[in-house]
Amino acid sequence: METLFIADDEISIRQGLKYIIDWEALGFSLCGEAANGEDALAGILALRPSLVMLDVKMPKMHGIEVINRAREAGYQGKCIILSGYSDFKYAQEAIRNGVSFYLTKPIDEEELYAAVREIRETLSTEKQKSRHLASYKSKAKNIVLHELLTNTLDAPLTEDDITHFHLQADTYQIVICEDFHKHSVNAPYTFADLLKVINRENNIFEHLEIDNKDVVLLKGSHGLHKLNDFLKHYEERPIQEGSPMESMFLTYGRPVTELTDVHLSYEDASVLLNRRFFCRQGQHALGYEMLPGASLEEPNSPPLYDFLALSEESLSEFSKQFTDYIQSYNRAMIADTLHELESGLLKSSKEIKEIKLFLTDLYLQTKEAINRSHTAAEIPFMSNSAVIEFIERRNYLYEILHFLSEQFEMIMNAIGNPSKDTVIYDVLFYIDHNFRDNIKLETIAPLFGYNSAYLGKIFNRLVGESFNSYIDHKRIDHSKELLLEDKLKVYEIAEQVGYKNVDYFHKKFRKYVGQSPAEFRKAAENK
């Protein structure tokens, strides 16, 4: 018999749920109930019921938070959320947190019966599988590895086990490989494929799949060196079309010296998969050094400070700033504020879904404020639902910020009509803040309400040189500053100023400076 726990602040609802269907016939018995969120959480953790039915809106703690905290504490039972709100946001949040069904009040008897019956069948199937797996006395190697990485081994491996499974090594490290393009079904290469080519004996790594993730366990110093060599190779030169790295995205955890600690490296790499949202455009790897928070060598360090609080206060503040800058056609401050926002979010420990919701609300609040101030303007706003869906579907932060930038530019063009003389200063400001990117006249001209040919003529007349020449000068001037600092290698400087090909950077530098970057740096050092 499975167990049932009911939580609702209305006693009539709780009583009704007890008798609305024949629970015993469906294989359930009531083990407890609660009238508020705190009692519900305590009851769930104490009783570990097979099924929980709880209301979204309860005193002391909302139903979604109860489920979140219960999951964090290890509760794995099934959940049905009840709500008087047919709001999509609640349903979406419930599904994300492993809720089996989301039912709206008043409860439909047939709908509830069908949901409970499906859950009962799922529980039966899961228990059958569990009993089946438990009957095996000898586990396969991939199962042992899975349990090592997820820290779920029933008992520590003996030395004989380690020898038997060929897991002896002085150091270990986890690499997780995803398809770079995310939506591709069959990536041409994985990291394991490359290792097989260079290591035919297959003694420096183990390869397995965990939760649909392609996982590699590197064994020994030689294996770790292969990873470092691989990463260094692609850091030092642009990723070419058709190269193995083009199709891959890698995350790697900390190296560990004990097999029992390998789960820590796996946890690092798994966390970094979620941090992919913060990657730069075209970035193909994230390592444990890029994890937010304190040093991994200091486990007792204080938790990460959130440099940007995703609060109602900060939301209102950013929305007001953008509204003011849009109405004053201040593109410079819009760009600066977007950069400030990005910097804060990069240092934040908030969940990706929280960040997306914050940015969605930021846009919608700004849109509402502009509409209030410019009722007569014909502004081609996207619908709220389209904006919500667009942001929800973005894989990267830079995509969302670029969208906001484009939308703010569109609004300014709709509510005002700056002259060609004033707009050129806005173009220059845009270049000064974005010359590191692959900006072209054809792509930025529409942002300022001009076609590229006409804007190019205006630019040449007012600035005294072509658009491309100005960008080259800006990049070369900045590269000279970086060369004088003597901290970065030439290829690193080339990439930082916007030249993906270091040979092309050398050619441009010599053209405008009259000497190579190395000669320039040496001459500066001799002064």
CB burial string 381-414: b at 16+ within 10 A, e below: beeeeebbeebeebeebbebbebbbebbbbbbbb
Dihedral pair phi/psi, residue 221, rounded to 5°: -60, -35
Is the pLDDT score of 231 beyond 60?
Answer: yes
Question: What are 233-261's pLDDT values in tens digits?
Answer: 766 666 666 666 677 888 999 999 999 99
Q: For residue 36, is pLDDT > 50?
A: yes
Taking the mean position of all CA atoms in its chain, how far away is CA 138?
Answer: 38
For residue 57, name the pLDDT band (cuts at 50, 70, 90).
Answer: confident
Burial class (CB in 10 A: 0-12, 13-18, 19+), 249: buried
Contact 42, 88 (CB under 8 A): no
**201 SS3 class:** coil
Which band of pLDDT confidence, cut at 50, 70 and 90, is reported for residue 297? very low
Burial class (CB in 10 A: 0-12, 13-18, 19+), 34: buried
User: Is the pLDDT confidence value at 459 over 60?
Assistant: yes
Q: Helix 397-415 to helix 352-373 angle, to the nearest 10 degrees?
A: 0
Total Cβ atoms within 10 A of residue 121: 11
Residue 184 has pLDDT above 70, yes or no: no
Average pLDDT rounded to a whole number, residues 371-378: 83
pLDDT at 514: 94
Rg (CA), the chain: 29
Q: Which of 179-188, 280-289, 392-401, 419-428 has the lowest mean pLDDT?
A: 179-188
Supply the pTM of this predicted model. 0.46
Residue 372 — pLDDT band, cuts 50, 70, 90?
Answer: confident
Arithmetic mean of pLDDT, 479-507: 90
Dihedrals phi, psi of 259, to nearest 5 degrees: -60, -35
Sheet with 213-219: list strands edge to edge.
Answer: 205-210, 213-219, 172-179, 248-252, 285-287
- Rounded CA gap, 86 and 476, in Å? 57
C-alpha neighbours within 13 Å on the C-beta side of residue 226 = 23
The answer to whether 332 touches 429, Cβ cutoff 8 Å, is yes
Q: What is the pLDDT of residue 442?
A: 87
C-beta separation of 206 from 144 below 8 A: no
Range list of H helices, 236-288:
262-274
pLDDT of 346 over the 70 cut: yes
